Amino acid sequence: MPNMSQTKVPIPEQDPKVRARNFEEVTLGYTKEMALEEASRCLNCKNMPCVSGCPVGVQIPVFIKKITENDFEGAYNVIHATSSLPAVCGRVCPQERQCESKCVRGIKGEPVGIGRLERFAADTHMVQDNTVIEKPVSNGHKVAVVGAGPSGLTCAGDLARLGYEVTVFEALHKAGGVLMYGIPEFRLPKDIVQKEVENLKNLGVTIMTNMVIGKVLSIDELMADGFEAVFVGSGAGLPRFMGIEGEALVGVCSANEYLTRINLMKGYKEGYDTPVLKSKAVAVVGGGNVAMDAARSALRMGAEHVYIVYRRSMEEMPARREEVHHAKEEGVEFLNLNNPVKLLGDENGRVRAAVLQRMELGEPDASGRRSPVPVEGSEYELAVDTVIMAIGTSPNPLIRTTTEGLEANKRGCLVVDESMHTTKEGVYAGGDAVTGAATVILAMGAGKSAAKSIDEYLKQKA
Ligand SMILES: Cc1cc2nc3c(=O)[nH]c(=O)nc-3n(C[C@H](O)[C@H](O)[C@H](O)COP(=O)(O)OP(=O)(O)OC[C@H]3O[C@@H](n4cnc5c(N)ncnc54)[C@H](O)[C@@H]3O)c2cc1C
């Protein structure tokens, strides 16, 4: 008989006042008892609607059933059969818009906590894991992967399992992409990401860091060097700015730069020589996950006031509800329906205030959301010493401008067909480099599809 409770088993979290000043993980994860109780809420529907909401097709009711049977390793194996990063997805996937949005328990109450259960299975596996990964027998074919984010790592893993000799070329000094440089430690501990990277290495994948493709080597050079196919998973790491007066002042930076210095370059740790802005009052411009991460990081870096400045209302905010809720609990102040129009500097050239204009909501725009309309004469000054821009990113043009025949659309995203093949023979692409900034699971799904296509392409060629 399923547990008919209308609410999820709550997940333990660090106290908001305490966690707002440390970088340790906010959400602590289910105990075995909690996981068993939550798993018993699953109705094990025959038609598995939740699976249709998962971009990599995890067999959700099957793994949850294994949890109810106390077979946690079995649960992990079911997830791992289709998802290469379960511990990551269990933490950062927007389940409320994906698998959980399709759960029939959500019709009358809260859906089953699929993400929480996925994390439980993955963490339990990680603690107990002593399996020796066997390297598959090589089929003698070489594939290059550009970028070690979720799309590149997934593509590399799937191809390595098929026997390909895969080399991943990563521009930064650590593999993981946004999982390492963007998403903060308090949401996704970095040792979890590195454990997944180690698993890939054990599978035989070679990872070469500090290799900026388009500078150190070009894609054409990789192909001339014996790589028979290339997957481009270089993400969308180029930040946008607003183009307003004062953006060149000291104390104004992109969220990507701010988060990279803190996460990847460990700016939050004592003893690391990474320069990071020390701030008293911070305005983070934007309303997505990146803005929430930057704001919550600024609090942890010691800021007294952190404001989210977002031109639309709370309802239109694209960030996950959970992130907004956590940010509010921790003391981030939300200035919705506000937009910066100018930044003012002090005598040393550091930003001292943002001039904000109030907005109201007008007619829906192309995105279907009501568009913000400025209220004339409503400008006022907000005293801040740091402004962090989190208003979106686009793919870096380096690869497409150094590779002949690689076409991009007007947003700078690489053009691919349904098999993820680009406009250049033998070159495939996926993840944010193709879609623009999206999600971890979509990037993984793209890496998976591309690996399948590359395998078919190389088999045909042979
Ligand atoms: C701060 C932040 C928070 C986020 N939070 C979430 C979340 O909670 N949930 C969620 O699902 N998604 C989230 N996202 C989005 C998600 O992380 C991305 O959609 C996902 O990482 C895209 O994966 P990718 O593999 O396409 O690219 P990336 O993760 O960007 O990886 C691309 C890699 O390619 C490398 N690279 C770039 N150019 C080159 C080159 N020329 N040569 C070699 N290497 C190169 C980069 O250094 C990087 O390591 C967040 C994004 C950010 C920035």
The CATH number of 16-128 is 1.10.1060.10
Give yes or no for residue 88 CB within 6 A of ligand 1.
no
Q: Residue 140, by phi and psi: left (phi above 0), alpha (psi -120 to 50) or beta?
A: left
What residues contact residue 224 under an 8 Å CB cut-off, 6+ apart? none
Give yes or no for residue 146 CB within 6 A of ligand 1.
yes
What residues contact residue 138 under an 8 Å CB cut-off, 6+ apart? 163, 164, 165, 204
Which residue's CA is the closest to the ligand 1 atom numbered 9? Answer: 92
Q: What is the pLDDT along the chain (462 residues), one digit of tens a residue?
A: 788 889 999 999 999 999 999 999 999 999 999 999 999 999 999 999 999 999 889 999 999 999 999 999 999 999 998 888 899 999 999 999 999 999 999 999 999 999 999 999 999 998 887 676 778 899 999 999 999 999 999 999 999 999 999 999 999 999 999 999 999 999 999 999 999 899 899 999 999 999 999 999 999 999 999 999 999 999 999 999 999 999 999 999 999 999 999 998 888 888 888 888 889 999 999 999 999 999 999 999 999 999 999 999 998 899 988 899 999 999 999 999 999 999 999 999 999 999 999 999 998 888 788 889 999 999 999 999 999 999 999 999 999 999 999 999 999 999 999 999 999 999 999 999 999 999 999 999 999 999 999 999 999 987
59 Cα to the center of ligand 1, angstroms: 25
What residues contact residue 398 under an 8 Å CB cut-off, 6+ apart? 212, 213, 214, 215, 234
CATH class of 241-391: alpha beta
The predicted model scores a pTM of: 0.93
Q: Residue 377, by phi and psi: left (phi above 0), alpha (psi -120 to 50) or beta?
A: left
CATH of 142-237+394-461, one of 3.30.2350.10, 3.20.10.10, 3.50.50.60, 3.90.1150.10: 3.50.50.60
* Equal fold, 16-128 vs 142-237+394-461: no
84 Cα to the center of ligand 1, angstroms: 16
Report d(CA 231, CA 236) in Å as an integer: 15
The CA dihedral of 105, 122, 447, 263, to the nearest 10 degrees, is 110
Give yes or no for residue 168 CB within 6 A of ligand 1.
no
Instruction: Sketch the domain layout of the chain as residue ranges.
Output: 16-128, 142-237+394-461, 241-391
DSSP characters for 91-127? HHS-GGGTGGGG-GGGTTSPPP-HHHHHHHHHHHHHH
Report d(CA 239, CA 258) in Å as an integer: 11
236 Cα to the center of ligand 1, angstroms: 7
363 Cα to the center of ligand 1, angstroms: 33
Site to probe by mutation for ligand 1, drawn from 197, 234, 254 as the one with most ligand atoms within 8 Å of Cβ, is: 234
Neighbours of 260 (CB within 10 A): 20
138 Cα to the center of ligand 1, angstroms: 29
